[in-house]
Structure formats: structure tokens, C-alpha cells
Structure 1
Amino acid sequence: MSDKPKIAMYWASSCGGCEIALVNLHEKILDVDAAFNLFFCPCLVDTKTKDIEALADGELAITFFNGAIRTDENLEMARLLRKKSQILIAFGSCAVEGCIPALGNLVPAAKYFDPIYRDNLTTANPDNIIPLNKSEIAEGSLGIPLFLKKVRTLGQVTEVDYFLPGCPPEPHRIWQAVAALIAPDGPPPKGSVVGVGPSTVCAECRRERTDKKIRRFFRTYEIIPNQTECLLDQGILCMGIATREGCGGLCPEVNMPCTGCYGPPAGRLDQGARMTAAIGSILDLGEVKGLGEKELHGRIDQALGAIPDYAGTFYKYSLAGSILGGREKL
């Protein structure tokens, strides 16, 4: 049995990209292996939940928890791993901000299955069957996790020591976070956001930004962007101005707008509100004096016509952790 400190990595409601990011440490993963014993990781290690339950409280040195809290199983594992871990890290956008799963907070949980099992044109389901929490079959009783009323972040259901955002976190940022945790002078203050920079993605972006006003937004297929000019200045909705620095500006580097995966900048509680304020400061509606309310609304709708899904654009990664959180009544 290894005497190295035990660490764990768990996925809740997530896609598996965070595990890929860990592997993308490349040769540095050998340094992680030299320092720690990866005791629990459902994607990589055949340890079971019962093995975690058998550990003494705090026996895990660090747990990297990725994924949002969407099911009762996610909630149970979050609380179990908190109990067994000295340090619990919300790893990736789903755990930190809710990410894509949290867009489910815009509809009641009872409606989650409808587009898949009832309304999908390619699904034949004449008996209107949807998955049940428990089903009885000849071999016995089958149970699947129960969807909770709302998707929540890890920090909304248990105490979190550190937050490492990104969808997924960039490998060099993961290494920075690990190095900070094992540094001789001690880890950062609890509650810190680690593996990030102090500003926004704009600080990492090499494109030239001006104070240009824009009359309309374009979807990415409607325009071939200039290679050196700020995408937002060209009318392409780029969330970089409302997103925390940390990714290296990878998307703008290849002519794609930032979609906001590192969450709101330091000091900002709501990424969508930050982006809405930014749009209000750069949108040029032309001469509006004398316009009636209907005409003014028409100009705004025309200018914003390339944003068909406001929630999915401004809160793609951050809805659960935002001030809104989702629909007020589900």
C-alpha cells in the first residue's frame, strides 16, 4: 500500500473533459503520480464508493470535484467527499458555476426528459415511457439517480476550499494550482480562485481593441473576421470582456469568439449582467430622438438579432452561480 498522500477526482454532472484536461498535463502527470496516490477516480481507477466510505474523515489529501450537482447521487457524493477530504477543489466550470447542465434551471425538472423521450421526432415511444427512479424487472429492482429540482454548484451544497474554473481548465493552469497547493510556503487562502489571472480574457487576447461603436451583431458564419481586430469591435459577440483571464485567449486566437467558460471576472457576481452592460456601452442605435417606443424596440431587436438565445449566450457557463440562478419558479 502506497504511503503517498491520497487524492481523488470525481465527476458529477459533467462531460469527461476535465479528466482529459488532467491527462493533458502530459509528462507532468508523472510528477503528480510521484507526489500523490490517485485513490479514487471513476474514469481512471476501479475504486468504489464503499472504499471512500471506509476511509477515515480527512484521509484524502485533495479531491478535485468536477461536475454540477444535478442528481441526488451527485449531492450524496459531494457531501461524502467533503467529509473525507482535507482540501476540496471545485474543478472546472460545472462545479464552479454550473455550466451547461445549469441551463436546465430554465425549465422544471419534470420537463427534462420530454425533448428526448416524448417530443423528439426520431424517437418512437407510443407508450409515452420515461425513465423512472426505480423499476422492477425479473432480476430485481433497478434504481437510477433522481433529478433534483435545480442544478446547483458544488459551493452551493457544501464547503469548498478552492475554485479552479474553465471548461475544461487549461492543463498549465491545473499544474499552477497543484504547485500552489504543495508549495513550501503553504497553499493560498481558503476560498481562493486558483489557476486564473487577475483580469479578463481581453488581457490575454492579442487582437487590437478600440472604442468602436457597432450597429449590429453577426453570427460567426455571417462574417469573415479581420485577423488582428477585436472580434467585438467587428460585431461578433465575444464574451472575453466579461470572462475571467485564464485560458490564454485560445478561441479569439483562431477567429472564434470567447463563450465565457472561465466565468465572471474577479469582483463580478453575474457574468451575464457584466456582458449586458458592456453591450449597452458599445451598441450604436443611430439617431433615436423622436422615435416612438415601438420603433426604438425594433432597432434594438434588429441590432441584437444575431443573439437568438440570450440565456444560452450570456449564461452558458454561469447560470447556477449567477444572481439569477434560473427561473424563479420552476
Structure 2
Amino acid sequence: MEKKITMAINWAGACGGCDVAILDMEEMIFDITDLADIVYWPVAMDFKRDDLIAMEKDSIDIVLFNGTVRTSEQEEDAKILRERCKVMIAFGACSAFGGIPGLANVSDKEGIFQIAYDDTASTVNPRGATPQTVHKVDGGEITLPEFYDTVKTLDQVVDVDYYVPGCPPTRNTIAQAVGVIAAYAKGEELPPKGASISSAKALCDECKRVTTKTGKRIPEVIRPHEVVADPERCFLEQGILCMGPFTAGGCGGSCINAHMPCRGCYGPTSKLLDPGAEALSTFGSIVGKGGEDFQIRGPMKAPVNNIKDPIGSFYRFTFPSALVNRTVKEGK
């Protein structure tokens, strides 16, 4: 039997769904263990951070890194793993694009702590205590990682070789990622650096919903819970915001098949620079009354401004990787 490659799996700023998705592969997980010895996966096995620190440079062949980089510890983990691995894979939407945790970039550390430790109705915190990086106790100090103002994608911190999108990646996408791992193990040619394990085409190319392509305008944007949608007809033609035209395919249309519009967890196709901005621009040009009086301060403004939660709608999974990727307080 050929010598196995070595592999690490790391969980940073995320919900843990990516790790669960790997475990949910059922018997397919044996395809990974046949190819690789897992030398670091602390969420699933008895590995300690000291085990990782003790490893030598380039001693890990492949790392699957899931989650955003939100704290100093997560940034340090990313840099340690990058130094010790030969191939770094951003696994899941959070690592690849920022994911839902990246929506925290509408605020900063101060604002988040204010809500979490003071403003919430269930919080009783008369001293106004918040987490500190250093706290002195009898006999020494207790330390915590620094909580950053900005949520970052993995490639904003270290060099990334490949991307596996999804929230979490689907079983089929993980199977394709296993194919990359197998190719590496066998010394075969790998995809070009920077490749994403997704379709080169938009999700619309896979969608089985019917579009009439009449060119008619959308009178207003409707949220999914506000209407009983036609299960056969294109969401967009019904006025329901769907990120399908701006999102890479390859997920199998899981949400669409469950009669929910796409929210964009597979990120942009290679032809899109900023899917959220392009989606917002597109909706701005097709929503509301057209004609000569269709001006930015006229009929166009009201229907576009009525879109609830535009950042959460257009940048739900990609805010930290957008061209404008956070709000900035005056004076900061």
C-alpha cells in the first residue's frame, strides 16, 4: 500500500456545520481515511493546539480550514497551519467569502460587545464587564485571544490554494474535494491554484424553474414569507429576491429544490467581481416602473429602498470579500 498523505482539519470562526458536513459523509469518510492520516482535527479527535505547534514546516500535506478569522488566535492558527502545510483549502463559505459571521462587519468590537454584554434584554451586567485579553487572578493571569474589529476571509490572512464553497459544502462538493485530495495523494495533476470546487456557470444554469423571459419589470420585491410562491416559476419573475444569477452552481440547487430562493452560499462565479453589488445594481434596474420617468430619485428609489436588509440579502455570505467590506465609524 502506498504511503498515506497527512491531513489537518481546523475550525475557526464558524458554526461547526462544516465539520458536521464532513462527518455526515457517512461511508465516504473512509475514502478520506484511506488516502490520508488525519494528524490534526481537534473538534473530532483528541488533538491539542500544542500538537500543531510542535509539527515541523511542510509536515502536513493538506489542510481543510473552515471558518472566518475573527480573533488573534484564529489568525495565529491560520498562519501556523499555512507554514506547516503544502496545500491550504478554504473549506466552506465562511473561510472562502466571510459567510454569515462576516455580517458582523456592519459593526465593530465595541458595538458587538455593547449589544452582547449590555443591550440585550436578558443580560444582567451591572458592572459593564466585557471580555478582556488579560485578567489578573490570584497567582497569575488569565488570557483570552484578542477580538478583532473586522471579520476576515482566510485568503485575507494567508495564501490559499483552493476553495470549497457552501454553507456547508454539499455531499457532492465534498466528494469533489476528496477527488482533489486523491489526485494529490497519487501525484496527479491538480486544478490550477485558486480554483473553486464549484461550477463555472451560475446556479440559474442548473435551476429547473421556468422563466418566461418576457422582459417585464418586477413591480416590487417580495420576501419569501409574504407570498405563496408558484413552485414551478422562476423566483425572480415572481418578485422574490434570488441570488441564483449571481452565485456559482454546483450545490445541486438544494434550497431551490426545497422551494426557497438562493441566498448565495456558493459565492460568485469567476466572471463576477462583487456579486452583491452586481445583484443590487440589477435589481435597481428592473424593479419598479420603467419609462422616461424612471430616475434614480424618482420611481426607482422607492421599490429599491423597500428591500429589507440589503446587506443580509445581497451579501449574506460574501460581505468580508466584497469591494466595500465593512462599515466605518466616523473618526476611526
> Counterpart in 2 of 1:44?
44
CA–CA distance in structure 1, aligned partners of residues 296 and 280 of structure 2: 20
CA–CA distance in structure 1, aligned partners of residues 319 and 295 of structure 2: 34
> Counterpart in 2 of 1:144?
144
Q: Secondary structure of 1:6's match?
A: strand
Alignment of 1:66-105 (within 5 A): 66-105=66-105
CA RMSD, aligned part only?
A: 2.0
Q: Does 1:59 align with 2:41?
A: no
CA–CA distance in structure 2, aligned partners of residues 175 and 293 of structure 1: 46
> Counterpart in 2 of 1:203?
205
Offset, 1:139: 6.2
Offset, 1:264: 1.2
Please say if residues 6 and 62 of structure 2, whose CA atoms lie closer than 8 Å, have aligned partners that are also in contact: yes
Offset, 1:61: 1.0
> Counterpart in 2 of 1:301?
302
Which of 236, 242, 248 is matched with 1:238 structurally? Answer: 242
CA–CA distance in structure 1, aligned partners of residues 291 and 229 of structure 2: 27
CA gap of 1:189–1:139, structure 2 versus 1, over 3 A, is: same
> Counterpart in 2 of 1:180?
180
Structure 1: runs of 5 or more not aligned: none
CA–CA distance in structure 2, aligned partners of residues 270 and 208 of structure 1: 26
Q: Secondary structure of 2:236's match?
A: coil
Please say if residues 285 and 300 of structure 1, whose CA atoms lie closer than 8 Å, have aligned partners that are also in contact: no
> Counterpart in 1 of 2:286?
282
> Counterpart in 1 of 2:251?
247
Offset, 1:287: 5.0
CA gap of 1:154–1:303, structure 2 versus 1, over 3 A, is: closer
151-160 vs 277-286, greater mean Cα deviation:
277-286
CA–CA distance in structure 1, aligned partners of residues 205 and 20 of structure 2: 26
Offset, 1:182: 2.2
CA–CA distance in structure 2, aligned partners of residues 35 and 286 of structure 1: 58
Q: Secondary structure of 2:237's match?
A: coil
Offset, 1:323: 0.6
CA–CA distance in structure 2, aligned partners of residues 124 and 3 of structure 1: 56
165-174 vs 183-192, greater mean Cα deviation:
183-192
Residue by residue over 1:204-261, the C-alpha shift from the partner in whole angstroms, topping out at 9 and shown as x without a partner, is 2110123342101111111001011001110111111111112111111111111111
Amino acid at match of 1:205: C
Amino acid at match of 1:39: V
Structure 2: runs of 5 or more not aligned: none
Please say if residues 39 and 45 of structure 1, whose CA atoms lie closer than 8 Å, have aligned partners that are also in contact: no
TM-score, normalised to structure 2's length? 0.92
Residue by residue over 1:3-44, the C-alpha shift from the partner in whole angstroms, topping out at 9 and shown as x without a partner, is 632211001100000001111222111111111111111210
Residue by residue over 1:286-311, the C-alpha shift from the partner in whole angstroms, topping out at 9 and shown as x without a partner, is 5553x8976x15x6324552x22111
Q: Does 1:225 align with 2:225?
A: no
CA gap of 1:139–1:174, structure 2 versus 1, over 3 A, is: farther
Amino acid at match of 1:188: P
Q: Secondary structure of 2:86's match?
A: strand
Please say if residues 287 and 303 of structure 2, whose CA atoms lie closer than 8 Å, have aligned partners that are also in contact: no
CA gap of 1:303–1:163, structure 2 versus 1, over 3 A, is: closer
CA gap of 1:149–1:304, structure 2 versus 1, over 3 A, is: closer
CA–CA distance in structure 1, aligned partners of residues 232 and 110 of structure 2: 47
92-101 vs 138-147, greater mean Cα deviation:
138-147
Amino acid at match of 2:223: R
Offset, 1:106: 1.6
CA gap of 1:206–1:135, structure 2 versus 1, over 3 A, is: same
CA–CA distance in structure 1, aligned partners of residues 281 and 303 of structure 2: 18
CA gap of 1:284–1:302, structure 2 versus 1, over 3 A, is: closer
> Counterpart in 2 of 1:189?
192
Please say if residues 58 and 85 of structure 1, whose CA atoms lie closer than 8 Å, have aligned partners that are also in contact: yes
Q: Secondary structure of 2:124's match?
A: coil
CA–CA distance in structure 2, aligned partners of residues 129 and 215 of structure 1: 49
Q: Secondary structure of 2:320's match?
A: coil
Amino acid at match of 1:285: K
CA–CA distance in structure 2, aligned partners of residues 90 and 220 of structure 1: 31
Offset, 1:277: 2.7
Q: Secondary structure of 2:148's match?
A: strand
Q: Secondary structure of 1:320's match?
A: helix
> Counterpart in 1 of 2:121?
121
CA gap of 1:227–1:118, structure 2 versus 1, over 3 A, is: same
76-85 vs 147-156, greater mean Cα deviation:
147-156
> Counterpart in 2 of 1:313?
313
